[in-house]
């Protein structure tokens, strides 16, 4: 099977699994760039580990190590599928190590920064109210910005205190809504109703369409610049990281944070948060099994 044909078959299989269009497009880009590197008419069974290493090395010239590591992950999914479908006998990526990725320290926003950002949108108009509540929603629930933009009015149940969110891979999850957030949402819904927007999206654009993710990012960036904040820190995704880190530090378990964020594995959540020793020690001290079992011995004074 030619590499070009294998790519098309793989993307068809990805679509049949109901993966998001964005994910399918990304897989297509990664495999397509490999095909350009080694030749689209190359027999997929003859692609070697050396070919993959050379491809990843070439990508390092214009991409960050983290991006290239993601390329390797995408190729592993592709070749693993080829092995499972018996198109090839071996996976050439098994012997390929990704680039060393510097440890990422996630941005955790301070309360003062969030308060300052909220003050950037004064007034009671729809857009200003929407922007403020969007900040609170991201901070309280840890939603991805795409999930925020896709959220419909019907997906929010203020009585049950939950929102039904469609996440990555079209996986649905229930996200809890705190009492303060529900109060803000009730006020926002009254403002939204008065605006008479012809849309089912909760955070609709001012014209009634879907609020685009890049429009959210642009709104946050402009507000940050207007209030003297660092625009890089005010990216919407940093509110997700801040929500997750704050939940953990306030006593939520890593498993609960995983469920709220919509990660498939708790190890992903740990890496995502960039947990350091201080975080783990604080969590362990508050939830030590020895303390819970009443087995913590009282320190005795040393005799001199």
- Catalytic positions, written as ranges: 144, 168, 237, 240, 263, 272
Element (H, E) at 176: strand 172-176
Distance CA 220, CA 117 (A): 8
**Backbone torsions φ then ψ of 125, nearest 5 degrees:** -70, 165
Q: Where are the alpha helices (DSSP H) in the chain?
A: 3-16, 21-38, 49-59, 65-84, 111-118, 126-141, 145-150, 179-195, 213-227, 236-249, 254-261, 266-273, 277-286, 289-292
Distance CA 56, CA 54 (A): 6
Tell which residue, 106, 104, 82, 85, has the closest CA to residue 93.
Answer: 82
DSSP 8-class letter at 210: B
Distance CA 170, CA 20 (A): 6
């Amino acid at each position: 099977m030619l590499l070009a044909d294998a790519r098309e078959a793989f993307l068809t299989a990805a679509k049949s699994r109901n993966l998001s269009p964005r994910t399918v497009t990304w897989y297509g880009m990664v495999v397509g760039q490999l095909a350009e590197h080694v030749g689209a008419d190359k027999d997929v069974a003859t692609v070697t580990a050396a070919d993959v290493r050379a491809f990843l090395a070439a990508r390092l010239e214009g991409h960050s190590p983290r991006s290239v590591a993601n390329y390797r992950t995408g190729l592993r999914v592709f070749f693993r599928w080829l092995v499972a479908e018996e198109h090839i006998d071996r996976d050439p990526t098994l012997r390929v190590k990704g680039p060393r990725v510097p440890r990422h320290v996630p941005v955790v926003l301070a309360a003062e920064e969030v308060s300052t950002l909220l003050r950037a949108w004064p007034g009671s108009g729809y857009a200003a109210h929407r922007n403020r509540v969007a900040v609170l929603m991201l901070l309280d629930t840890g939603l991805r910005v795409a999930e925020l933009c896709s959220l419909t009015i019907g997906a929010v149940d203020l009585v049950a205190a939950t929102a039904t969110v469609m996440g990555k891979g079209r996986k649905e999850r229930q996200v809890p809504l705190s009492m303060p957030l529900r109060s803000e949402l009730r006020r926002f819904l009254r403002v939204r109703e008065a605006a008479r927007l012809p849309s089912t999206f909760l955070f609709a654009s001012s014209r009634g369409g879907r609020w685009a993710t890049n429009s959210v990012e642009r709104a946050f960036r402009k507000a940050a610049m207007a209030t003297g904040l660092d625009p890089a820190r005010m990216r919407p995704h940093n509110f997700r990281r801040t929500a997750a880190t704050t939940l953990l530090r306030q006593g939520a378990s890593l498993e609960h944070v995983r469920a709220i964020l919509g990660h498939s594995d708790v190890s992903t959540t740990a890496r995502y948060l960039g947990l350091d020793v201080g975080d783990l020690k604080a969590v362990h001290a508050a939830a030590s099994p020895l303390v819970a079992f009443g087995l913590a011995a009282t320190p005795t004074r040393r005799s001199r």
